Amino acid sequence: MSEMMKPDVTNLTLTTTNTEYSVVLKESTRFFTFQMRTAVDVRYAFVTGKVAGSTAPYMTLKSGDVYSSPEKLALPLGGLTVYFANTGGGVVVELTEWY
């Protein structure tokens, strides 16, 4: 990377089973990743109302995997919301935004 990007970490706890939780990316975010702190599968989507009830379209991040957005997007992702849900409470989503 030619320009220095800075990271910002968010830990989001999904306390209640099959409940939608969300993170709004910061205005200057150009790249982000997320993973689960514990070995569980988690549902995620970029539109509301999908993950809690397992209603398509949503995706599943398998235990031990990491989601990465396309690297260094030309436009900031600020305002993009990522929605999460799981089938067991107490899961922590570790999200890193690069800006």
8 touches 95 (CB < 8 A):
no
Band the pLDDT of 74: cuts 50, 70, 90: low
Please state the rounded mean pLDDT for residues 41-69: 95
What's residue 3's pLDDT? 66
Domain boundaries, the chain: 7-98
43 touches 53 (CB < 8 A):
no
The candidate with the shortest Cα–Cα distance to 43, out of 57, 29, 32, is 57
The reported pTM is 0.89
Q: Which fold has domain 7-98?
A: Jelly Rolls (2.60.120)
Helix (H, G, I), strand (E, B) or coil at 60: strand
